[in-house]
Amino acid sequence: LIIPDNALMSPDELSLYVVGKISEESESWAGFVLKETGANWENGYGIGRNDTLKEFIGFTTDFEANGIKAPFEYNEWNLVSLHHGNSVLEFLAQGESQGVHNAIDSITRNRSSLWIGWTGSHLDGRIAEIIMFNKRNSKVERRLIENYLATKYLLSIEGDLYPFEDEGYNNDLNGFGQELDGSRHISSGGSGIVCVDAPSDLNNGEFFLWANKELSWEETKQLELPSGVPSCLNKIWRISETNLSGLEADIGNVNVVVDLSEYHHLDLRNVVMLIDVDNDGSFLNDTPLSSKELMRSGKFQFSNVSHLKHGVRFTFGTASSQTENGFDDYVKYFQTEIIDSLIYLRCKVAKVVQGAEFLVEKSNNEGKFQLVEKITGESILDSDMEFSTNDAEAKLGYTIYRLLHVMKEGDTVVLAHCGFDYDLAMHDYSDWIIEDQRRRMNQEMEKSQDYLKIMAMYIVIVLVIIFIVACYFRRRYANAKHERDLLLQQISDLKMRGVALSVSEPGNRKALELDKLKIEKVIESKLGESAWMILNLIFEDPSISNKEIAENVSLSIEGVSSSLRRMYTIFDITTSSNKKIALIMKASEISSNSI
In the predicted structure, residue 161 carries a pLDDT above the cut 80: yes
Q: Which one, of 29, 1, 126, lies nearest residue 74 by Cα?
A: 126
Biggest alpha carbon–alpha carbon distance for the chain:
145
The Cα-based distances of 385 to 297, 329, 338, 380, 402 in angstroms read: 32, 14, 22, 9, 17
In the predicted structure, residue 93 carries a pLDDT above the cut 50: yes
- To the nearest whole percent, how much of the chain has pLDDT over 70? 83
Cβ-proximal residues to 582 (8 Å cutoff; 6+ apart), any chain? 487, 573, 575
d(C-alpha 345, C-alpha 357), whole Å: 17
d(C-alpha 190, C-alpha 213), whole Å: 15
Look at residue 503 in the predicted model and tell me its pLDDT: 40
Other Cβ atoms less than 10 A from the Cβ of 184: the count is: 16
The Cα-based distances of 77 to 19, 61, 73, 217, 551 in angstroms read: 7, 27, 9, 30, 107
Look at residue 293 in the predicted model and tell me its pLDDT: 58
Reported pTM: 0.57
Hey, is 254 helix, strand or coil? strand
Q: Which one, of 291, 231, 296, 303, lies nearest residue 259 by Cα?
A: 296
Average pLDDT score over residue span 302-313: 92
With beta carbons less than 8 A apart as the criterion, state whether 260 and 300 touch: yes
Please, what's the b/e burial string for 510-537 (b: 16 or more CB within 10 A of its CB; e: otherwise)?
Answer: eebebeeeebeebbeeebeebbbbbbbb
d(C-alpha 2, C-alpha 34), whole Å: 10
Q: What is the mean pLDDT of the chain?
A: 83
d(C-alpha 345, C-alpha 333), whole Å: 10
With beta carbons less than 8 A apart as the criterion, state whether 550 and 556 touch: yes
Instruction: Name the phi and psi angles at 140, rounded to 5.
Output: -70, -40
Look at residue 363 in the predicted model and tell me its pLDDT: 80
Over residues 234-289, the pLDDT tens digits come to 889 999 999 999 999 999 999 999 888 776 555 555 778 999 999 998 998 888 88
Look at residue 276 in the predicted model and tell me its pLDDT: 95
Hey, is 570 helix, strand or coil? helix
Based on its alpha-carbon atoms, the radius of gyration of the chain, rounded to whole angstroms, reads 50
Cβ-proximal residues to 274 (8 Å cutoff; 6+ apart), any chain? 225, 226, 229, 232, 283, 286, 288, 289, 314, 315, 316, 317
Look at residue 326 in the predicted model and tell me its pLDDT: 42
Over residues 465-492, the pLDDT tens digits come to 998 988 887 877 777 677 667 766 666 6
Look at residue 510 in the predicted model and tell me its pLDDT: 45
3-state SS of 129-174 is EEEEECCCCCHHHHHHHHHHHHHHCCCCCCCCCCCCHHHCCCEEEE
d(C-alpha 363, C-alpha 61), whole Å: 59
